[in-house]
Chain A
């Protein structure tokens, strides 16, 4: 099972906690907002990083992150 990390952009305030917890998946953009390190725009979380991702969801001071199970919908 894969999971996707979703950002609620109306909440995110570029505090950067998620960037520290998930450097493998996220980097800051010019303004510090989380951006995927990959080529796809969706942030897919491999099983090995799921625990860190769950911590990020729990600890985000803005409660701006959530994990969605399964494959991301294709557009």
Chain B
């Protein structure tokens, strides 16, 4: 599931091939000092592409002031609707390794790790690393195949050789991470962007995208579109354009899940077509650009049913460590499922809202919060459908009967 844009300076534009091809197409990494590199990244306005969108310059600077740091490239991508990190690592492993080297240089790190699914490490990253063994040493760590395996503290645990479970550390990982050392955990796409910014500069980076979302970003478009794809898009692109770049709708759509399973539903109407993929524009829908996931929901599928399935999956992906998540997520899944199958009442819908407040923000990681976000978004975007379900009706079912 991938589509290449051919611009040589784009994330997926590097011609497939070895280290020599990589260097001849993009040139060697320039030799710039740590301070300059952080200034360039800050000027570029690069933000983390793993989902949290934290300013990368600030993250680098926070780790750079500390000694004996660790850098971890995070390619775990536990999100089922996302495949951009997988595509990037397969097609441009050298760009990510460049970024790792730069991040290590910028922070003065003495250990470097790359954390990603085992098959990608075997097929793409391992061979790429062997080509540059003389100049770079990276420890490869296989990530677990679970939704939460990419959460920052779970990544730290995995790199330390423990199970990839989130922990409730008193200190943030940039202060105390891998074996108590200051740790930079950075998504692999962010690292690849770092490698482009170091070569071509912040102005080049800002030449694409908008002021609010500078640069390009990878998105994964799937669901009811003609050509599901990973695409390198200008930051702040309109949802309608992004769907068009994935071939357009393959059938009538009713909503787009933006930001993944921890994201929110945007109703597919005229205003939504023009909605830019930015934090501010998506906020009313409980959504955010996140890790760049767009999942198109067709009219023939019930939005409440689709949401109930997602929440049920997320409940199964709880690490099982924190009470409100362990008890709350299955409750939410069950209540949303009852609503979707019209075995419900007005009181039960109020109850569903009440349970969200008992789950939100009450875990060692963001899994409960993200799940609540999806539930709240479903209840607000499909509010009319909630009313219909309370009357025993379902628009999607009626549509399928007519079709």
Contact = CB atoms under 8 A, between A and B. Distances in A.
B126 interface: no
Contacts of B387: none
Interface string B265-289: 0000000000000000000000000
B324 interface: yes
Given A9-B168, A9-B324, A10-B321, A30 B360 contact: no
Interface stretch (B32-40, B135-143, B290-298, B361-369): B361-369
Nearest to B320: A10
Contacts of A11: 168
Contacts of B7: none
B325 interface: yes
Given A8-B168, A9-B323, A29 B358 contact: yes
Nearest to A14: B323
A19 to B, nearest CB: 13
Interface in A29-64: 29-31, 33, 35, 41
Contacts of B361: 41
A8 B363 CA distance: 8
B167 interface: yes
A33 B362 contact: yes
A10 B327 contact: no
A33 B324 contact: yes
B362 A9 contact: yes
A24 interface: no
Interface string B350-391: 000001001011111000000000000000000000000000
A28 to B, nearest CB: 10
Given A8-B168, A9-B168, A10-B168, A35 B358 contact: yes
A45 B277 CA distance: 40
Contact of A31 (B167, B321, B324): B324
A9 B358 contact: no
A13 B322 CA distance: 8
B323 A13 contact: yes
Interface string A6-24: 0111111110000000000
A29 B324 CA distance: 9
B170 interface: yes
A7 B363 CA distance: 9
A13 B321 CA distance: 10
Interface in B128-180: 166-168, 170
A12 B323 CA distance: 7
Interface string B320-337: 011111011000000000
A31 B328 CA distance: 9
B322 A9 contact: yes
B324 A10 contact: no
A9 B364 contact: yes
Contact of A33 (B168, B321, B323): B323
A24 to B, nearest CB: 20
Contacts of A13: 323
17 contacts: A8-B168, A8-B364, A9-B322, A9-B323, A9-B324, A10-B166, A10-B321, A10-B322, A12-B323, A29-B324, A30-B327, A30-B358, A33-B323, A33-B324, A33-B362, A35-B358, A66-B170
Given A10-B167, A10-B321, A30-B355, 20 more contacts: A7-B362, A8-B168, A8-B364, A9-B321, A9-B323, A9-B324, A9-B325, A10-B166, A10-B168, A10-B322, A10-B364, A11-B168, A12-B322, A14-B323, A30-B358, A31-B327, A33-B324, A35-B358, A35-B362, A41-B361
Interface of A: 7-14, 29-31, 33, 35, 41, 66
The 7 A-B pairs of least Cβ separation, nearest first, read A9-B322, A10-B321, A8-B168, A31-B327, A29-B358, A33-B323, A10-B168
